[in-house]
Structure 1
């Protein structure tokens, strides 16, 4: 690297707002685009991400307001992944100004595999407890934030994609309500599927809230900045698809008692008996409610469900939403 990341700052450039006007680029509602143009806020996000002397991947940079802050705050290299070709001229100006530290990849992050994005010498063994000098940062469009997070959580669980390099931290934005669900603790009315599947795999913290009026155009909701650090050991040591299915079906009816929450995991004619058996094996009260269960208790339910699936391999494939010839009318 010809210029030290510790001392490099971008040269004076037109503002992001001016570049948007110059290239006549406006936010697209279909892509849930909202631009964060306040440098005080973008600098705060980047400070939380702790990217100094790190190699960074920014997801969905748009016109580059966070990109500028990343380059100015001392990342060694920056790769941005952008789906919308309208932003390429704006981003290319940053590439030229970044003195070889920045590259742009055109692609859809929902399908893009970051497993070859960084030098393999930067990988750190997962069990070492050391965090690699790699970071993922993104102001995520609302319409892809949750599906992308779930995809990445599965990658964290099997240490694939970017997490083949080790426990890479993420600093991401979500609608405030989604951010609150991610970090919600036992008894919180916001506790949900996201709470459990995020917390069993990662240490999570809701760092601050950005008012909606700070974005252009301003959304109807505020935005939360959440930081994720993958755990050395997951709190539930089972395959992600099984854990996600159990937690998802449980929280589909989270205000009901657990006996009713688990019913959708099992087919008739033995539904009641199997729910009872699962709860007995997990030592969970049938009258308890999902928001009052901790991750360890969900883990016991997942292990009980796995035992039942091991006994009947077809059970995991059961989906109560699929048409069922053997059932007619209400099943309970």
Structure 2
């Protein structure tokens, strides 16, 4: 087998070979691109690292890929080289449009690449890939080291918090590796973690997201205190003690445990107990302990004491 044939086969097996392009560093200089602190911009110039990040997402060949905040296109190049079926990039900063358009032109013979100039928070992800047969996305995120550690933090971890439990209810997060802040331009004050987030086929609860988020937020609002303290603030003062006691009784959770000592299952039992109480007493749902207190406001406690004590 000739050397040229070996090279051709190697390129076919590993992905697309891009034609000669300006380096990311050259593009940053050419377009006089400077990182904007308000947009948390830090450029990753090392293609070995961008390739490693893309590999952490698994095999994306002939898959649908959404990249948020591609910037000058370092990770975008690594994605294109893996030959996905359809790539959509969403970039808020219009300064990067020329580099995205250049990459799209190079990619078009091999794959479809669409550029969206706008804020990802205003973008309807469901409409990104109309020909995609399903929308069970696996996410790969880059986050500051501390945030990445919190996302995956297990029970009893010093990093365990509301973010940990909320992620673990709907997904299986995995911290893949860390990247030193020195790899970025400009250098951030923290290192960066790469996390893969795979949605669970079946969510661990059927309770509405807003209710879950509300209860988990209260559970972790006083992290070093007994979890009953945070949960008690879900209820108006007139019925607080009775309903807090009833919630933990129905959930079969120790009210003297601290939030970071609770498993996801225990947190969800508290959520479901609260949700059941809201269905029985709908007026509870609108209570916010942080809101200004009105004289005479609150629920009557009649009928709750006996149930809580049973």
Q: TM-score, normalised by structure 1?
A: 0.82
Change (3 A) 1:78 1:274: same
Using the TM superposition, give the Cα deviation of residue 74 of structure 1 relative to its aligned residue in structure 2, in angstroms. Answer: 2.2
**Contact (CA 8 Å) 1:173, 1:224: kept in 2 or not?**
yes
If you compute each CA radius of gyration, which structure gives the higher value, 1 or 2? 2
2:41 to 33, 37, 40: 33
Using the TM superposition, give the Cα deviation of residue 314 of structure 1 relative to its aligned residue in structure 2, in angstroms. Answer: 2.0
The Cα offsets for residues 127-168 of structure 1, whole Å up to 9 and x where unpaired, read as xxxxxxxxxxxxxxxxxxxxxxxxxxxxxxxxxxxxxx2x11
**Contact (CA 8 Å) 1:6, 1:74: kept in 2 or not?**
no
2:222 is the counterpart of 1:250:
no
Using the TM superposition, give the Cα deviation of residue 326 of structure 1 relative to its aligned residue in structure 2, in angstroms. Answer: 3.1
Which ranges of 4 or more aligned residues in structure 1 deviate by more than 3 Å?
4-7
> Structure 1 CA distance, aligned partners of 2:86 and 2:238?
58
Query: 1:321 aligns to what?
Result: 290
User: How many pairs does the alignment contain?
Assistant: 283
Q: CA RMSD in A?
A: 1.6
2:128 is the counterpart of 1:117:
yes
> Structure 2 CA distance, aligned partners of 1:63 and 1:169?
23
**Contact (CA 8 Å) 1:257, 1:290: kept in 2 or not?**
yes
> Structure 1 CA distance, aligned partners of 2:227 and 2:126?
39
2:18 is the counterpart of 1:49:
no
> Structure 2 CA distance, aligned partners of 1:81 and 1:173?
15
Aligned pairs (5 A) from 1:96-107: 96-100=105-109, 101=111, 102-107=113-118
Aligned pairs (5 A) from 1:294-313: 294-313=263-282
Q: Which runs of 5+ in 2 are unaligned?
A: 1-11, 298-310
> Structure 1 CA distance, aligned partners of 2:250 and 2:293?
28
Using the TM superposition, give the Cα deviation of residue 58 of structure 1 relative to its aligned residue in structure 2, in angstroms. Answer: 0.6
Change (3 A) 1:11 1:314: same
> Structure 1 CA distance, aligned partners of 2:133 and 2:236?
44
**Contact (CA 8 Å) 1:60, 1:80: kept in 2 or not?**
yes
2:84 is the counterpart of 1:75:
yes
Query: 1:209 aligns to what?
Result: 178
Q: TM-score, normalised by structure 2?
A: 0.88
Q: Which runs of 5+ in 1 are unaligned?
A: 125-164
Query: 1:178 aligns to what?
Result: 147
The Cα offsets for residues 106-147 of structure 1, whole Å up to 9 and x where unpaired, read as 110012111111133x223xxxxxxxxxxxxxxxxxxxxxxx
